[in-house]
Amino acid sequence: MPTNNRRSSNQAMQIHSFEPGAAGYAALAAIGASTPAQYALDYEFRDADDWRALDAAFAQAGRPLVRYVAVDRDGRPVGYGYYFEIGWAPPPRRYWCVVRVLPEQQRRGLGGRLYQQLLADLRGLGAGAMLLELDDTLAPLRPALERRGFRELLHSWAFTLDLGTCEPARFATAYHRLGDLTIAPLAGEIARGADWLPPLHRLFTQVAGDVPIPIHPIAAPPPAWLEHQAVGLPESLPEAFFVVRDGQRYVGMSYLHADLAAPGRLYQRITAIDPAYRGRGIALALKLKTIEYGRAHGYSHIRTAVESNNPSMLAINRKLGFEQREGLALLERAL
């Protein structure tokens, strides 16, 4: 009797709770790296140390992150699914979910099985909603998700600026609006002996919840994490980490990371302003500083991402000449 090899292969797959350890984190990194970096989802990584750091952050915060792995008949991990409760914005009982399957194992129902495992867990917890991201290259999957009850909350687009053709000089008057405020690179703050980390961390935790999809999933990550972002990563550029000072108080920040896979490209990680100082053109001035840095140091492009519910930053990027590219949708299903 003929058999459906795809179905029998899927049935041979097993889903287990994730076991931390060198092999487990290496497997997560391999699966996370199986998709091009520009299509990676938020809170999904290509390096084992980043996965460990994510788990450590949740453990330190006393908040659970639950992860499952799918393994083939030889015990090789070929997919993962995980969830955690969103803590950066109300309402409570909403859970962020991620499902990823190796490309060669896709379209066999394995992603659906991981999804069903997460769904069963969340229903058991009395969750109010589950959220997941779908990048634009997987748009054909969207009708199936909508049939399951998902709806779009927002869209996040990639934007790229060609530093060879942009004209930042057209916006030089933006600096005039700063008044007594000062923009300084973090490298300069460190050089002058400033006690920079505590006030910068206070600013970050104050504004992180205003970012639609924050760079860190814990609303108040430890200062060591921010220090690592600023000066401790291979891609860190303290001279391209700009802060806005009102006297000795930090009231704004914007920073770049080098793209280690593309030496001519920079990533704009976050631009954030103290709420009391918004509406004064500070964000535009900060963006201009990052552009000036990139041009002065021979970079060709800056890449960033902006969400559809952040109209002010969308307007700034378009004004500066950033070109909108494909991105991803954030979908929600009420439970």
User: Residues with Cβ < 8 Å from 17, sequence gap 6 or more?
Assistant: 66, 67, 68, 69
pLDDT digits (tens, 9 = 90+) for 303-330: 999 999 999 999 999 999 999 999 999 9
Q: Residue 140, preceding bond cis, omega within 30 degrees?
A: no
Residues 104 and 225 in one domain: no
pLDDT digits (tens, 9 = 90+) for 95-131: 999 999 999 888 888 999 999 999 999 999 999 999 9
Can you give the pTM of this predicted structure?
A: 0.89
The whole-number pLDDT of residue 144 equals 92
Residues 189 and 94 in one domain: no
Residues 189 and 281 in one domain: yes
Residues 70 and 200 in one domain: no
Q: Is residue 139 part of a domain?
A: no
Residues 16 and 164 in one domain: no
Q: Please count the structural domains in the chain.
A: 2
Q: Is residue 147 part of a domain?
A: no
Tell whether the model's pLDDT for residue 89 goes beyond 90: no
d(CA 105, CA 10): 9
Residues 246 and 314 in one domain: yes
d(CA 14, CA 120): 16
% helix / strand / coil in the chain, to the nearest 5?
A: 40, 30, 30
Residues 182 and 88 in one domain: no
Q: What is the CATH number of the domain that holds 94?
A: 3.40.630.30
Residues 99 and 200 in one domain: no
Q: Is residue 331 part of a domain?
A: no
Of 34-38, 168-172, 256-260, the least confident? 34-38
Residues 81 and 27 in one domain: yes
